[in-house]
A and B are shown apart, each in its own frame.
Chain A
Amino acid sequence: MKNALNAVGKYFKDFGTALAKGDIGVKLSAVLMGAGYFARKQVINGIIMCLVEVLFAVLCIGYAAPNLAKFGTLGTVQFEQVFDPLTMTSTVNDYDNSFLILLNSIISLFIIFVFILFYISNMKAVYRLQLKKENGEHINTFPEDLRMMFNEKFHITLLTLPAIGIIIMNILPILVFAVAFTNYDQQHMPPNALFTWVGWTNFKNLFTSSVTVTFGYSFKKVLVWTLEWAVFATFTTYIGGILMAKFINDKRTKLPKLWRTLFIIAIAVPQFVTLLLVRSFFADNGIVNTFCNSIGFTGFLKNIGLVPSNLSYIPFLTNPGWAKVMIILINIWIGIPYQMLVATGVLMNIPEDQIESARIDGANPLQIFIKITMPYVLFVTGPSLITDFVKNINNFNVIYLLTQDVFVTSDQLLANSNAKEIDLLVTWLFRLTNEYYNYKMASVIGIIVFIICAAFTLVTFTRTIKGDKEEEFQ
């Protein structure tokens, strides 16, 4: 943390030095970004920088300014439609679309932020050039600069493209979660209505339980189940996958490829097909129930009290308790082959020499597994274990496909806030947006999910990766 602050401090200090001690070329760069390069005869670099600056200016005037002007209110002109009976056409006024204003403003702010960073780096680069010149060092020509991009600066070349993708797909959408601070819901839907900023009201609602607002009650229930689910789903499939991989790859197992392929078939069919299929399989009047009924299993479960006596079927996916257990079991069915694949790949790559020397030293198979195999597997798959946990917190497919249209909650308090017992935070959020257009509450939940996931990752991540463990196996 301290290091990070220091680094930021240095970043701005260097900028200050460049501005204060730079010669005329560097100082001119503060206005015309290419100037410093022209002064060192790097004409192509100079032209590129000037073009970037011009492009930014055009964007500011044509795009950022008109949107940012309305950012404070998110628009004031209500949508109006006037129907003209003479020409039989309707005319729409020049209305404000609150959502587009929000989105465009966020994009503008982001571009401005990136440009400022770019601008500061440019000043520093230009100043470095000046120092080089003063010390009589060689100043790169443009082709030499290009070559740098494949050697010392290869990381920049490699990361640029992925970074652009990530900005569009991950960073901008996260910023749109500013909706959590507005009243964007079914009553305030653009383009017909405007929405505006409301501060922390939605967050307060999420933690209150009253007669009319039951979000607090639902949130607690959904959160607890989300965490329970994530723990069970992650560890059952992870351990199951490693054990199965060990079991199949064991020397005593005949035809390992055949067995592996059999399990792979189960995941070759896309999840939504298998899940919808399994849902019909375990339906209240489905084939499993017919079977259980005919062999008297349903009656047995009734006798020991696991099935309510007023039902003539096993409520696999319709009773909260049963549904939770079934969801975890079905997830094991789906998850283990995937984990087995990963574990197989990893097990194959264990350094043989380590195992061999351990064997020569007289270690038994169990000791080898605990002391060598497991640490190695944990090291390679450790990060993926964390990602799996977080993925499970957000495991939309399994829950949604298995229970959508099938599971109906009988808890009125949950129903009031559009939640169900088996909902994860994400499925609840999805239902809020997709069926009830309650974007404001959905965004609040989204932010909470994000905080939970980030917290889990940071704690575990720093523990597994920290230190120089990276080099241990290299």
Chain B
Amino acid sequence: MKKTIKFVIRHLVLLFLSIVWLIPILWLFVTSFSGYKGINTSHFFPETWTLDNYAQLFLRSDSIVQYPRWFWNTFVIASFSCLISTILVLMVAYTMSKLRFTGRKGLMSFAIILNMFPGVLSMIAIYFILKTMGLTNSHLGMIIVYSAGAGLGYLICKGFMDTISISLSEAARLEGASEAKIFWSVIIPLSKPIIVYTVINAFLAPWADFVFAKLMLNSGVATDWTVAIGLFNMLGKSMINKYFSVFCAGGVIIAIPISALFVIMQKFYVEGITGGSVKG
């Protein structure tokens, strides 16, 4: 009896928490079907329901709304920068975690101090550097912005690799494997959970970022934009009353690739990997 009550309370708490977490998302979702284009301030649910906001996003591109184009731009940028960042992070994390060489500790401290310098601050300088290279208003420039410095974010990944038993790589070394081979065939397969984490993080960044994008893609041509700037632009003071529901529809759509990615990857979080491979 006591157990049943505890069981019910436990799940009621979870239910309550998930409601708190999902209310704004629910609002986003229902408002995306609203027939009224501005912000509805008196009712949670829209008074008239319609699919027109989605139709406007995909079928009626104009100088303000270029959604399919933005989606494609962001997807390309996110994919490439995700790939590059993950590779860079793994390279640095492995070096710092498993290889021993002079200056390793020094480099680690240096990298951490460097990482302290907020990206927002160096933004202006990065803008000028890319501008002299002619890379503003281009996908390549954005990919560089999102991925070039990724190596600095190696700490979490290194923390994970530190927990992979050193006996594994030692065994491989005894069998005559080169360092490169150990990296590729021993450590990488064992690091799946943290690779997933890195991939998700790196893929999310370009979808979520708007400060850098706004600075770099400043041509004012809607077809150059990413989803973030496009949507942000819809909430400008003069637009918000005409585009708020369209903005919500756009928000719903961009959540889809990210949630899908997560569902595919989620199982990796749940597998205890080191537990399995060191035993015995």
Point out residues on A near B: beta carbons under 8 Å. Answer: 4, 99-100, 103, 150-152, 154-155, 157-159, 161-163, 165-166, 168-174, 176-177, 244, 247-248, 250, 252-254, 257, 259-266, 268-274, 276-278, 280-281, 283, 285-287, 290, 333, 337, 341-342, 344-345, 348-353, 379-384, 387, 390, 393-394, 396-397, 400, 405, 426, 429-430, 433, 439, 442, 446, 449-450, 453-454, 457-458, 461, 470-471, 473-474
B41 near A471 with CB under 8 A, answer: no
A151 near B149 with CB under 8 A, answer: no
Chain A residue at minimum C-beta to C-beta distance from B109: A461
B151 near A345 with CB under 8 A, answer: no
- Give complex CA distance A252, B14 in Å: 12
- Give complex CA distance A384, B10 in Å: 29
B148 contacts A by Cβ under 8 Å:
yes
B115 contacts A by Cβ under 8 Å:
yes
Chain A residues contacting B274 (CB-CB under 8 Å) are 349, 351
B269 near A168 with CB under 8 A, answer: no
B259 near A264 with CB under 8 A, answer: yes
B151 near A162 with CB under 8 A, answer: yes
B113 contacts A by Cβ under 8 Å:
yes
A473 near B163 with CB under 8 A, answer: yes
How many A-B residue pairs have C-beta atoms within 8 angstroms? Tell me.
299
A268 near B21 with CB under 8 A, answer: no
- Give complex CA distance A164, B121 in Å: 20
**A349/B163 contact (C-beta < 8 A), A270-B204, A274-B24, A281-B24 known:** yes
B156 → chain A closest CB, angstroms: 5
B22 near A262 with CB under 8 A, answer: yes
- Give complex CA distance A218, B269 in Å: 45
The answer, among A266, A352, A442, for a CB contact under 8 Å with B22, is A266
B125 contacts A by Cβ under 8 Å:
yes
**A162/B183 contact (C-beta < 8 A), A169-B148, A349-B274 known:** no
The answer, among B10, B18, B126, B270, for a CB contact under 8 Å with A252, is B10
The answer, among B113, B129, B237, B272, for a CB contact under 8 Å with A348, is B272
B178 contacts A by Cβ under 8 Å:
yes
Instruction: Report the stretch among B47-55, B59-67, B88-96 that lies at the interface.
Output: B88-96
A166 near B132 with CB under 8 A, answer: no
- Give complex CA distance A281, B44 in Å: 10
Within 8 A of A (CB), among B183-200: 183, 193-194, 197
Chain B residues contacting A382 (CB-CB under 8 Å) are 159
B116 near A453 with CB under 8 A, answer: yes
Q: Mark B30-43, 1 if CB is under 8 A from A, else 0.
A: 00000000011111
Point out residues on B near A: beta carbons under 8 Å. Answer: 6-7, 10-11, 13-14, 17-18, 20-22, 24-25, 27-28, 39-44, 88, 91-92, 94-95, 99, 101, 104, 106-107, 109, 111-126, 128-129, 132, 144-145, 147-152, 155-156, 158-160, 162-166, 178-180, 183, 193-194, 197, 204, 207-208, 210-211, 228, 231-232, 235, 237, 244, 247-248, 250-252, 254-255, 258-259, 262-263, 266, 269-275, 278-279
Most chain B C-beta atoms within 10 Å of own C-beta, residue among A286, A383, A433: A383
A312 → chain B closest CB, angstroms: 14
A333 → chain B closest CB, angstroms: 7
- Give complex CA distance A352, B263 in Å: 26
B132 near A100 with CB under 8 A, answer: yes
A270 near B254 with CB under 8 A, answer: yes
B232 near A272 with CB under 8 A, answer: yes
19 contacts between A and B (CB under 8 A): A150-B178, A157-B180, A165-B88, A166-B149, A168-B148, A176-B122, A176-B125, A247-B14, A269-B258, A345-B197, A349-B275, A379-B159, A387-B156, A397-B208, A400-B211, A426-B120, A449-B121, A453-B117, A471-B166
A172 near B259 with CB under 8 A, answer: no
Chain A residues contacting B247 (CB-CB under 8 Å) are 273, 276
Beyond the given A103-B129, A270-B258, please list 20 additional residue pairs across the A-B interface where CB-CB is below 8 A.
A154-B95, A158-B92, A159-B107, A165-B151, A166-B149, A168-B144, A173-B122, A176-B122, A244-B17, A247-B14, A253-B10, A261-B263, A280-B244, A287-B40, A290-B41, A351-B274, A352-B272, A383-B156, A394-B118, A473-B163
Chain B residues contacting A341 (CB-CB under 8 Å) are 197, 269
The answer, among A162, A176, A453, for a CB contact under 8 Å with B92, is A162
- Give complex CA distance A277, B28 in Å: 7
- Give complex CA distance A471, B117 in Å: 29
Chain A residue at minimum C-beta to C-beta distance from B84: A165
- Give complex CA distance A252, B3 in Å: 10
> What 8 A-B pairs have minimum CB-CB distances, sorted nearest first?
A162-B151, A173-B122, A169-B149, A173-B125, A165-B148, A394-B118, A453-B116, A176-B125
- Give complex CA distance A158, B187 in Å: 14
A135 → chain B closest CB, angstroms: 22
- Give complex CA distance A142, B159 in Å: 36
B148 near A262 with CB under 8 A, answer: no
Chain B residues contacting A158 (CB-CB under 8 Å) are 91-92, 94-95, 99, 183
Chain A residue at minimum C-beta to C-beta distance from B232: A272
The answer, among B11, B39, B94, B106, for a CB contact under 8 Å with A280, is B39
- Give complex CA distance A257, B109 in Å: 38
The answer, among A266, A271, A387, A433, for a CB contact under 8 Å with B155, is A387
A252 near B7 with CB under 8 A, answer: yes
A273 → chain B closest CB, angstroms: 4
Chain B residue at minimum C-beta to C-beta distance from A175: B125
- Give complex CA distance A383, B154 in Å: 10
A265 near B259 with CB under 8 A, answer: yes
B207 near A265 with CB under 8 A, answer: no
- Give complex CA distance A168, B147 in Å: 11
B122 near A174 with CB under 8 A, answer: yes
B106 → chain A closest CB, angstroms: 7
B155 near A383 with CB under 8 A, answer: yes
Most chain B C-beta atoms within 10 Å of own C-beta, residue among A250, A273, A457, A470: A273
Chain A residues contacting B275 (CB-CB under 8 Å) are 349-352
B159 near A270 with CB under 8 A, answer: no
